[in-house]
Amino acid sequence: MRILCADVGGTSIKLGMVTGDGEISGLTEVPTEGKKGGARVMENLISGLEAFEGYDAIGISTAGQVDREKGSIIYANDNIPGYTGTKVKDILEKRFKRPVEVENDVNCAALGEGWLGAGKGMTDYLCLTYGTGIGGAIVLGGRLYRGVGGSAGEFGHMILHPGGRECSCGKKGCYEAYASARLLVELAREKDPSVSNGRELFARIAEGDEKMAAALDEWSGEAATGLASLVHIFNPQALILGGGILEQDAAAESLEKNARELIMDSFQNVRFLKAALGNTAGLFGAATLHIK
C-alpha cells in the first residue's frame, strides 16, 4: 500500500509517499501561507498533493484540533485564520477520489514515533513538542487517547500559574506561556538584549556564558514542573520530547535533571527520550491512519 502523506505546519506543508513497510520517498515542501487563511492553506495543500501519482490513499497531519470521524478542523488559532471548520477530508476526497484520513499533527507525530521511532515497542508514552507553543499527545495501551471531543493532550494549556503570563489561547498562566521555546529566548533577552535566537543562546552556553546558562535553567525548571505532573498522572513508560530546542543536549539534559528532582521515587523508571524521526514523524504518523 502506498499512502500519500502531508504534514500541514505553520510555515510549510511537508509531503511524501509512505509505503506499508515504512519506506518514504518524494519528500518535498510547499509554503503553508497560514496567515493568508484556511482557504489559501487548502489551495497550497492541494497544489502540493497534485504533484504525486500512483497512491492508494491520503493521510493528513495538520495543525489544529481535529474531528477524526469527520476529518474537519474543530479549532485552529490565529496562526491560520479561518481554518476552523474546514472540512479537509471532504474537500480532498472530492478532489482526488481517494480515501482520506485527517489527524492532529502532534498526534500523528506520536503515532509515527510509535511505529518507527523512539516509541517503537512501547504501549504507554506521552509525546510533547516544544516550539512556539507546546503540543502533546497521549498513547495508552498502544492506542492514541483522543478524549471525548478528540482534543486530549493539550498539555500546553495546563494552568501552572493562575493569573500569570498571557497565553495565545486567551487564558493566563498556561504551561506554554512559561515553557515554550519562544519563552526561553525571551528569558535570555531579559538577561542580555543582544541575544537574537536560540542558536546563539546555545552557542553562548557552550562558551561558558553564565547568564545564558541561568536562562536555560529557569526555562527547564518551568518545563520540568509540567513534565513531573504528567508523569505522576499517566505513569508512562516514556516521555518522547521533540522540537528544535530539545535537539540541543544542554536543554535535554537540564530538563531531565530538573524533572527527576520533582518526580517521586516510585515513578523514576520513566524514560526521557528524544523524538527520533524529526520532520518526518508527522508523515509516518499520517500513514498509520490507513496502515494500522
DSSP letter at 121 equals: T
Tell me the pLDDT band of 235, cut-offs 50, 70 and 90. very high
Residue 21 pLDDT > 70: yes
* Single-letter amino acid code for the residue at 90: D
* Residues 271 and 146 reside in one and the same domain: yes
Structural domains counted in the chain: 2
| 133 and 179 both lie in a single domain | yes
| Percent over 90 (pLDDT), the chain | 88
Enclosing domain of residue 164: 122-275
292 pLDDT band, cuts 50/70/90, is: low
Identify whether residues 271 and 283 lie together within a single domain.
Answer: no
The residue-averaged pLDDT of 268-279 equals 95
Same domain, 99 and 139: no
Q: Which three three-digit cell numbers place residue 138?
A: 497521549
Same domain, 270 and 126: yes
pLDDT at residue 11, rounded to an integer: 84
Q: Is 116 part of a structural domain of the chain? A: no
Question: 237 and 152 in one domain?
Answer: yes
The string of pLDDT tens digits covering residues 66-101 is 999 999 999 998 889 999 999 999 999 999 999 999
CATH of the domain at 63: 3.30.420.40
Contact 136/154 with Cβ under 8 angstroms? Answer: yes
Query: Which residue type occupies 34?
Result: G
Model confidence over 137-171: pLDDT tens digits?
999 999 999 998 888 999 999 999 999 999 988 89
Q: Is residue 189 part of a domain?
A: yes
Q: Which residues of 229-256 are buried (b: 16+ CB within 10 A; e: fewer)?
A: bbbeebebbbbbbbbebbebebbbebbb
- The pLDDT assigned to 264 comes to 98
Are 131 and 239 found together in one domain?
A: yes
- Please provide the average confidence, as pLDDT, over all residues in the chain: 94
Residues 156 and 209 in one domain: yes
Q: Average pLDDT, stretch 30-35?
A: 94
